[in-house]
């Protein structure tokens, strides 16, 4: 590795200082504060702080509702990630073909990513609302089954999974398209010469060559569905019916900001923090090593 040499000893520190200050003030400080708060039973107005040690965590892990929420979150995240990536890859492979109007087609596919999750939620609300949504209305001609997600948990969960996949779709597609264009045509031609058909070529050549992109998108989508789907849940289901769509990040917000149980909420964000650290560590450790380039 090449070592950069600065004429002044302090200059490098000065140059990274702004970044460091931002990181400390906006990331480390709040994180440490949540850690501290998670050890207390705190009153909303801050007049009482009772040290409870791991009490909040014990309460959390003894609460079946929290364990259900964790289970829902993992199920939700895996489904959003796997279905989302599979669909994006499929459409990227198709969009990578040489067809007329490709630019328009590609741009349209990228559009959903530009929409804020809360707005996306409202759009889906209008489509799926049991009384004024267009989809239940159309479905009522086909089946007598009531897709009322105010009461049916699995419908509500399916709804936010579909909405989250749609929301993240453009992003995934953009990366897969870029990945596909980075595959040298000589490799694919060589496979063709060896007699591999389009499907064989895809699975034997394209897919393995895309694995770094897939891995990157996997981590990114997991993080997205863990955290950034808050707006979606908040605007569409509010965690209900029952607690069918109460994902961890939503529950942490609700217990803290509506329920004013700050210590308990802080404990939940510490758990979430541990999950992100885990995911990131996993990414750094394996991204470079185990993935075929």
Task: List contacts with another protein (CB under 8 A).
Answer: 41-48, 50, 65, 130-132, 148, 150-153, 238-243, 254-255, 257-261, 264
Q: How far is the CB of 141 from another protein (least distance, A)?
A: 15
Residues in the chain: 293
How far apart (Å, rounded) are the C-alpha atoms in residues 85 and 218?
Answer: 8
CA-to-CA dists, residue 192 to 2, 56, 201, angstroms = 42, 61, 7
Which of 46/53 has CB closer to another protein?
Answer: 46
Q: How far is the CB of 204 from another protein (least distance, A)?
A: 47
The helix (H) or strand (E) run that includes residue 238 is none
CA-to-CA dists, residue 217 to 149, 183, 232, 246, angstroms = 30, 17, 20, 24
Which of 117/256 has CB closer to another protein?
Answer: 256
Which of 212/231 has CB closer to another protein?
Answer: 231
Find the helix packing angle between 153-181 and 102-110, rounded to 10°.
Answer: 140
Q: How far is the CB of 24 from another protein (least distance, A)?
A: 20
Q: Write the DSSP symbol of residue 3.
A: P
Q: How far is the CB of 138 from another protein (least distance, A)?
A: 16
The answer to whether 84 and 168 are in contact (CB under 8 A) is yes
Query: Phi and psi (nearest 5°) for 109?
Result: -65, -25
Which of 40/175 has CB closer to another protein?
Answer: 40
Q: How far is the CB of 61 from another protein (least distance, A)?
A: 14
Which of 146/280 has CB closer to another protein?
Answer: 146
Q: How far is the CB of 45 from another protein (least distance, A)?
A: 4
Bridge partners of residue 143, in order along the sequence? none
């Amino acid at each position: 590795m090449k070592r950069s040499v600065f004429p002044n000893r302090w200059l490098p520190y000065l140059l990274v200082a702004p970044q460091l200050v931002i990181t400390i003030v906006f990331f480390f400080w709040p994180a440490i504060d949540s850690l501290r708060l998670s050890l207390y039973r705190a009153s909303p107005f801050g007049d009482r702080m009772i040290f409870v040690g791991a009490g909040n965590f014990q309460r959390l892990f003894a609460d079946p509702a929290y364990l259900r929420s964790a289970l829902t979150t993992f199920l939700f995240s895996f489904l959003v990630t796997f279905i989302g990536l599979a669909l994006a890859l499929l459409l990227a492979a198709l969009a990578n073909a040489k067809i007329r109007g490709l630019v328009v087609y590609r741009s349209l596919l990228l559009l959903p990513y530009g929409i804020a999750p809360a707005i996306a939620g409202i759009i889906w609300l209008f489509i799926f609302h049991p009384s004024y949504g267009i989809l239940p209305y159309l479905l009522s001609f086909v089946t007598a089954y009531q897709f009322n997600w105010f009461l049916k948990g699995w419908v509500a969960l399916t709804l936010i999974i579909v909405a989250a996949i749609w929301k993240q779709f453009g992003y995934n597609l953009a990366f897969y398209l870029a990945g596909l264009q980075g595959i040298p045509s000589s490799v694919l031609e060589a496979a063709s010469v060896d007699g591999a058909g389009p499907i064989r070529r895809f699975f034997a050549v394209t897919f393995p060559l895309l694995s770094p992109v897939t891995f990157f998108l996997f981590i990114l989508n997991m993080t997205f569905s863990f955290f950034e789907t808050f707006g979606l849940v908040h605007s569409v289901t509010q965690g209900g019916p029952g607690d069918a769509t109460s994902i961890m990040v939503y529950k942490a917000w609700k217990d803290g900001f509506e329920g004013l149980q700050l210590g308990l909420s802080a404990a939940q964000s510490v758990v979430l923090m541990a999950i992100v650290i885990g995911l990131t560590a996993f990414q750094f450790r394996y991204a470079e090593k185990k993935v075929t380039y």
